[in-house]
């Protein structure tokens, strides 16, 4: 392999790495999978989510919801009533992640059976 080929290969690798890292950055948060899963079932409110995800703190729920919203994965709808109501939904863009989830679900299932127990972040 020439130096040029090596360099171009490295750049391609690095591109792919950045792409995959970006994807993990969006969906890799400690609670994001769980949050997205519930939001994926349909409109859900803040405290409903909180109850649905045992162990999550308000802080992390708010933070990760905000990140998912900023990344365009979920939509936040505020209804100016009293008491206030906020509903979260998956966006069309969020649905583009579905194929990845399906693959990861399948792979993770096999892996968990194979290894018995993996690192869970």
Partner DNA sequence: CGGAATCCAGGATGATACTG
Partner DNA sequence: CAGTATCATCCTGGATTCCG
Contact residues for a second copy, defined by CB under 8 A? 9-10, 13-28, 33-34, 37-38, 41, 52, 67, 71-72, 93, 96-97, 99-101, 103-112, 114-115, 118-121
Q: Which stretch binds DNA (CB under 7 A): 18-26, 81-89, 96-104, 109-117?
A: 81-89
- Which CB atom, from 109 or from 118, has the smaller least distance to DNA? 118
Residue of 8, 23, 62, 110 interacting with DNA (CB under 7 A): 62
Shortest reach from residue 104's CB to a second copy, in Å: 4
Contact 50, 58 (CB under 8 A): yes
- How far is the CA of 39 from the CAs of 19, 34, 54, 77, in angstroms? 25, 9, 15, 13
């Amino acid at each position: 392999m020439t130096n040029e080929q090596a360099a171009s290969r490295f750049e391609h690798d690095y591109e792919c790495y950045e792409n995959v890292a970006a994807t993990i950055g969006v969906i890799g948060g400690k609670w994001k999978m769980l949050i997205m899963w519930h939001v994926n079932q349909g409109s859900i409110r803040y405290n409903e989510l909180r109850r649905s995800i045992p162990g999550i703190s308000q802080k992390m729920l708010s933070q990760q919801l905000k990140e998912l919203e900023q990344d365009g994965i979920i939509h936040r709808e505020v209804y100016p009533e009293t008491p206030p109501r906020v509903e979260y939904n998956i966006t069309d863009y969020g649905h583009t992640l579905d194929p990845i989830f399906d693959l990861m679900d399948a792979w993770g299932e096999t892996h968990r059976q194979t290894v018995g127990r993996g690192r869970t972040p």
